[in-house]
Chain A
Amino acid sequence: MGNLNSINEMHDQAMIDHFINHIGERVICFMPSYPFMFIGGIKAVLGDVVKIDVETTHFAQLEKRDWYIHIHNIEVFYIEREGEIEIPKLDDFC
């Protein structure tokens, strides 16, 4: 935690730290902007941007690639951890 002056800065940094602490885990996150939903593995955090190896979004054409997502634009997320609920594996016509 750096030199934080306000509750908002602390909140924002805590969010970033949370993603840093879970590099290598799978995450599902929902955003208000297109394409709204991602599922994939957290590869890195660069500043306040998380790099996700996206396995699933709403649109197949946007999958199987790295996405750089502004952490503070994520409205809802869940990071999968051992022993906890698993994020579904989504396959077309599974």
Chain B
Amino acid sequence: MLRRYHVVAIPIRIVFNNFGDHNPTGAIYVLKENESTVKKRVKKNRFTPVELVQPLTIRANEGDVVEIIFENQLPYAAGMHFHEAEYDVLTSDGANAGLNPDTNVETGKTILYKISLPYKGIHYFSDLGNVSSSEKGSNMDGLFGALLVEIRGSWWTDPVTGERQSSGVFADVHHPFLPSFREYAWFFNDEMEVNDLTGNRPINPETNQEGVSFHGVNLRYEPLANRKKLIDEGVVCPEYEGEEVHHDSWVFGDPATPILRGYRGDPAVIRLIHGGVKETHVFHYHVHQWLSDSGNTLSEIVDSQAISPQSHYDVQPLYGLGSLQGAIGDTIVHCHLYPHFVGGMWGINRIFDTLQDGSQVYPNGKAIAALQPLPDRAVPPSSTKQKPGFPNFIPGRIGYKAPRPPLSIVGGRDLTELERNAAIPNARPGAVFAEPSLGNPPVVEFNVSVIEKKIVYNKQGWNDPQARFYVFDSDLDDILSGKKEPEPLVFHVPAGSSIRINFSNRMPEILQGSPFQLLTRTYETGFHNHFVKFDVLVADGANTGWNYDSSVLPGETIRYEWFADTELKAFFLHDHLFPGAIQQHGVFGGGIIQPRFSSFFDPKTGIEKDHGTQVTVSHPIIPDYRDFSLFVQDFTMLFDKNGRPIEPPPFPGSEDDPGVFGVNYKCEPLQFRLGKECDPAYSFSSYVNGDPVTPILKVYEGDPIRIRLLQGAHEESHSFNLHGLKWKSERADMDSASKDQQHISISESFTFELEVPLSGDYLWAFEDEEDIWLGTWGLIRAYDQVVDDLIVLSDRPDPPPRTKPLPVVTGNPPAPARLESALPPGASLYSPVRKYNVVAFQTPIIYNAYGDHDPFGIIFALAEDVNDIRLGKKYPEPLILRGNLGEIIEVTLTSLLKFDLFPFQDGIHPYPTVKKQAFYPPSVRISLHTNLLSYDVKTSSGDTVGFNPDQTAGPGEVITYRWYVDGAHGTCAMWDVADLRNHRSFGAFGAFIAEPRFTKYLHPNTHEPIHTGGNIVLSHPFLPEIREFVLVMQDGVRLEDKHQKVIIDPLDGVITKPGEPDLVDTYDQGSRGFNYRSERLINRYRDHPVLHDLFSSNVFKDPSTPLFEAYPGEVITIRLTSPAERRRAHTFHLHGHKWKADSKDLNSRVQSFVGNVIAGHTNDLYLIGGAGGMFNLPGDYMYRSGNIRWDMEQGMWGILRIHDQVMEHLPPLKD
């Protein structure tokens, strides 16, 4: 079917909320039919939001062809670039890339885009005519939207009127055979210009400083700062603090941000879209869970989703609105990064239990808009005086905080008559209006308190004097007396249990002021949980919308009831009343729903226990396992032993990345682990420095383990890497890809299930540079002989008795690893052996034709190439090694590093910086670590960690590693572990590609065999020839320009505005690019200051980043990795092509982006349909970052060129 839309890009004033916050120079896409209406309404409503000023959301069906007439009324050239769609890149790319014609249009002009839609789902679109990362950039200003592609045969109606509609973020979608559902488009966006009613930047009333940057949803935001002003002025509930009532509609009425309305049980899909430019947000939706890949029943169940710019996900709540328990009420939907949440990035999913026909009102007298029942579902009962329905049975008072729930507070009130009419038959404390439990399940009851007590994080005395955390009441005395060390609360419950919590607030009412924070009256708190089933009105541990305030005052106890219907991973527990103020002090924990019939034991004593971050789990049928929980945390507000604050913000109360990092209330900073040799190569060595204070997860060789990975606080992305072990990315699916790295943001939860094959010390680390520098790492220690402090799993053979003494601290570096004849796990004596001779050395690297360069580059290269690289005959590129399934790989590494060739002789790496800079002189030793392959960590991981032998090579020394390719894993990241602070930013990384058995590697131009390279042809006896392109995404690079001046990116690369230094976090510092190349747009702009021409090879030469070439239809695999090094997550996007989200899983979704790319990430993109997309169309296709701020300008882009005729230098592939 052919559909047509006429879309206009217009400049528009965007008002974000009823407080008049606005962007005076916004830009949006609108349908032509709405253009005059929206302009008129905006002109009339200068300080209130206009419904039509939202991200344009249009719809089509799978299989449709859509023609878009795009008209540009903006003062700069603009276009529409569609993700996921199939199109002719020469006519409909919405860009001006490479040698293509320009498909942006100038002001006042129009263009016709024609796109085909073979797949359903979200088709994001945005502008590429103006990618400035300043506030002048189009994406920053709101120029994005989505084409939602429905199942073939669908139609859609307005949820209020029931009439057909042409656009809108909300729609009811219908189908002749399938259930109707509510569809809600939810666009995060960030960094937009925002002025207040007076035309000035908003001031935070708490700090009297400029507020945080814009973080909103659907071009709306509802920050605490505005609502707090009403409290401060005495307009509403003057005795309250602010954060505890931020989301309370009883106090303020409903927010301007989206309210997703439906009836209990309605099927629904939230189209989650990141239209912003910089931050990786976390979408969290209370009460509900969904499959992380909605079409793949074996994918993980999640209730939080990290999302990086220009990526998108379908959120299809299981059991429909209200989940299994049929909850009614307001379920908050928000970005879980607290500064964003407090800053206004939230909305509500409102679930009604009575029919809304337009005649009802909210308690504050505001009309409730009609809501059409879905046509294939029973019509909800009408409201009556006795049963008015949510929210009108709740005895609240307008202008005051929501009431406490009935029955729940110990010693609290009974039900009112209206509440009793609305209640379930057996209403009880913590379960009043929805029945959370199925049948008559076994009950577990826990008594938990939240307390304040100083926690010391490391041996150097770094401490949080106002740490706040959850404890079991049974541990209270031991914790307070110091007999027991605090750790995040984790309890274990078998599936199928009803969990009853008696939660007491034992915190002081006041959070004292400090260099980090202003004094805050945090007088109430809740115990909010994820994943399990509960009655949201009374057991949310929160205060949302028209719900009750289900928190508790100091000295009081509240009861919650939760139900675990099935085995789950760890679920997150935290405060929801003052989390912005106290969660970073440690107010987080987890519950783990273990398999039914399992029992839990102390791993040291074997005594049964029900809580702890480390337990041993026994089960009558499935194998026993060790269970470990790791909580990473940031914004950790520590003081040193002398009481000096560590990394305080510029002023108390600032959200400008205060503090440092930790794991389970511990940290082990590298600066304290230099040893007497002052060599970073031994920072992880327990021989030199003793074991870290961070968790050491103890196992016996061969034990199964489960790692529960969570993030407790507070705002940032982290990258968990586990060296030498791997897991299936989807636990239930043996077809899913193997992984050993995971991006994580706050509130996400992951379970990794694996076995530890060999003894040794395995490094786990949140391994971006700054995290690990500040101590977010530890060990898995696998013993080969019995030890006293670790019980044996009941179904595993007894380990041999101890004959070797346990290693001890010597203060000296360990002996070199001796590889000898040992085979890696899985290898046999008959495995073929492939050998590589690798040299690590320093050499200048030229990043682009404008002379931006790294004069101090550190690279790995094959020995055979070293001279050519040194002589300039061969350009340096990240070392790419390959091996085939079943092969043993022997890598001999020689170090030629020289101390004099580092740009800092005082031992402090000056740029890019990290927090808590300190003396840490660069090591001249180096190692090579690869992920995903099989090896003995005592010889071949490249990790001199714990009590492992030395696996680094010093100047002139040689070390040999032996790896086994135990799967066709595709991309494996490689990097140096000898000096994670000083080496990676200079290029000490590469990639290993694990190919299928019998694969041969050919030069793309000659088809002769080659040994390395990022652009090769794969030849296989059973498969077509394949072009393999390797892309190494890198950031944190120290570059100098042609005048030898250090480039201070990202701000030096911003095109249209001078820098704003206060906006740049440490982890944004540094230049970035692909494969030791960076096509920074600022260089081009200086030559030719026309924004929409900056990607054009007709105006400029081709970019310096890799130019990949192919012919239409040729098979292409892209190997993507990001071994280095910063904490900012990136999105990768390739124009006009798509691939399976999980390269090994045919059931996984199709997408044209890779999100959450961060240090250690690996991925394999098998392009569906081959070169040129499914229609095999020639042209230039951009590959690039999705982060407008600050990646694209800074050079993170390149071109895949599909030639329409045979080129002399490029022989076509054989079929």
Q: Which residues of A contact B (CB under 8 A)?
A: 58-61, 88, 90-94
Contact = CB atoms under 8 A, between A and B. Distances in A.
A19 B1100 CA distance: 77
B599 to A, nearest CB: 8
B439 A90 contact: no
B497 interface: yes
Q: Which 7 A-B pairs have the closest CB atoms?
A: A88-B620, A92-B442, A61-B439, A90-B597, A60-B496, A61-B438, A93-B442
A34 to B, nearest CB: 11
A59 B442 CA distance: 12
B220 to A, nearest CB: 41
B438 A92 contact: no
Contacts of A59: 496, 565-566
Contacts of A61: 438-439
A88 B441 CA distance: 21
B621 interface: yes
A9 B77 CA distance: 72
Nearest to A90: B597
Contact of A90 (B565, B566, B620): B620
Most chain-A CB neighbours within 10 Å: which of B494, B495, B566, B621?
B621
Interface string B614-653: 0000001100000000000000000000000000000000
A91 B496 contact: no
B596 A58 contact: yes
Given A60-B596, A90-B597, A92-B442, 20 more contacts: A58-B495, A58-B566, A59-B496, A59-B566, A60-B439, A60-B441, A60-B442, A60-B496, A61-B439, A88-B620, A88-B621, A90-B596, A90-B620, A91-B597, A92-B596, A92-B597, A93-B442, A93-B444, A93-B494, A94-B597
Contacts of A58: 495, 566, 596
Contacts of B597: 90-92, 94
A88 B622 CA distance: 11
Contacts of A90: 596-597, 620-621
A59 B495 CA distance: 8
A92 B494 contact: yes
A65 to B, nearest CB: 12
A92 B497 contact: yes
Contacts of B621: 88, 90
Contacts of A93: 442, 444, 494
Contacts of A88: 620-621
A59 B595 CA distance: 11
A87 to B, nearest CB: 9
Interface string B880-893: 00000000000000
A61 B435 CA distance: 15
Interface in B478-497: 494-497
Contacts of A94: 597
Nearest to A62: B439
A92 B438 CA distance: 15
A9 B819 CA distance: 56
Interface string B435-457: 00011011010000000000000
Nearest to B620: A88
22 contacts: A58-B566, A59-B496, A59-B565, A60-B441, A60-B496, A60-B596, A61-B438, A61-B439, A88-B620, A88-B621, A90-B596, A90-B620, A90-B621, A92-B441, A92-B442, A92-B496, A92-B497, A92-B597, A93-B442, A93-B444, A93-B494, A94-B597
A70 B114 CA distance: 52
Nearest to B595: A58
Contacts of B439: 60-61
A39 B439 CA distance: 20
Contacts of B438: 61
A92 B620 CA distance: 12
A79 B495 CA distance: 26
Nearest to B443: A93
Nearest to B496: A60
A26 to B, nearest CB: 14
B600 to A, nearest CB: 11
A54 B621 CA distance: 17
Contacts of B494: 92-93
A82 to B, nearest CB: 20
A60 B496 CA distance: 7
Nearest to A92: B442
A92 B495 CA distance: 9
A91 B441 CA distance: 12
Interface in B594-610: 596-597
B258 to A, nearest CB: 35
A61 B596 CA distance: 13
A86 to B, nearest CB: 11
Contacts of B620: 88, 90
A14 to B, nearest CB: 26
A15 B149 CA distance: 48
Nearest to A30: B621
Nearest to A57: B596
B653 to A, nearest CB: 48
A94 B599 CA distance: 9
A94 to B, nearest CB: 8
Nearest to A88: B620
B440 to A, nearest CB: 8
Nearest to A59: B496
A56 B93 CA distance: 58
A19 to B, nearest CB: 21
A88 B565 CA distance: 22
A60 B442 CA distance: 10
Interface in B105-155: none
Contacts of B565: 59
Contacts of B442: 60, 92-93
A93 B445 CA distance: 13
A88 B598 CA distance: 12
A17 to B, nearest CB: 27
A58 B495 CA distance: 9
The interface centre, meaning the residue of A58, A61, A88, A92 with most chain B CB atoms within 10 A of its CB, is A92
Nearest to B567: A58
A58 B494 CA distance: 11
A93 B494 CA distance: 8
A94 B497 CA distance: 13
A90 B442 CA distance: 13
A38 to B, nearest CB: 12
Nearest to B440: A60
A90 B439 CA distance: 18
Contacts of A60: 439, 441-442, 496, 596
Nearest to B621: A88
A43 to B, nearest CB: 23
A4 B443 CA distance: 53
Nearest to B596: A58
A59 B438 CA distance: 10
